[in-house]
Structure 1
């Protein structure tokens, strides 16, 4: 009986340590900031651009974890006087390998001239996100 109890306690301890390490790897950390005025000149052979919109990126912060998951906290401004719906294909991330990716599907309503901060999820990658941009 004592041996079974000891074995159960040891298993529980290792399980807790294992879950704690997974949690640490899942946790997002803020990536080192890159000056948001830098222009990158990667070739765009696939002609990938965000859809035209009335949205402007005010600022953003990129985040990642040990698994390469990428998220961005972005503040967007609706430059139109009318209501608009932001959809994910109206913004793109430029990765450090030159790849351009839109975030996973998102729809958010904006009032005229409204500014909102959103958290957007992007593809996992070993390359960091360098910049986020829209097209007007």
Structure 2
């Protein structure tokens, strides 16, 4: 009897733990498959949405999405200054497959002097995939 109660409590605890970690179906992000080099895209320039001047080098980006159309980008940036930098959403612009440009949603990230950092940017929901992330380091 004592073992039956212990086993029942353990089974209940496992079920409770699994359901607490469960998420809504389709919310998990997956990396989008890139079939075109972002450097080969030549959408018209959007004069209203441009990245602010930045002292970052964009080393890499990988678009991510889910079935609900939420668009993210995992970016790797390098701080080119010898001082710590707080990054702002306006330093990044996402370009979508229909040519629209969008800033990412608000985030708080700092990067130490001359360091490289990887983090995710949330570009909201779109029917079109994210194909490019641009910064202005020139």
State the TM-score, normalizing by the size of structure 1.
0.77
Deviates more, 1:64-73 or 1:45-54: 45-54
Q: Distance in 2 between matches of 1:36 and 1:76?
A: 19
Superposed, 1:6-85 pairs within 5 Å as 23-36=24-37, 38-85=39-86
Structure 1 segments unaligned to the other structure (5+ residues):
1-19
Length, aligned pairs only: 116
Q: Distance in 2 between matches of 1:78 and 1:111?
A: 7
Name the Cα RMSD after superposition: 1.8
Structure 2 segments unaligned to the other structure (5+ residues):
1-21
State the TM-score, normalizing by the size of structure 2.
0.76
Shift of 1:35: 4.9
Large movers: runs of 4+ above 6 Å: none
SS in 2 for 1:25: coil
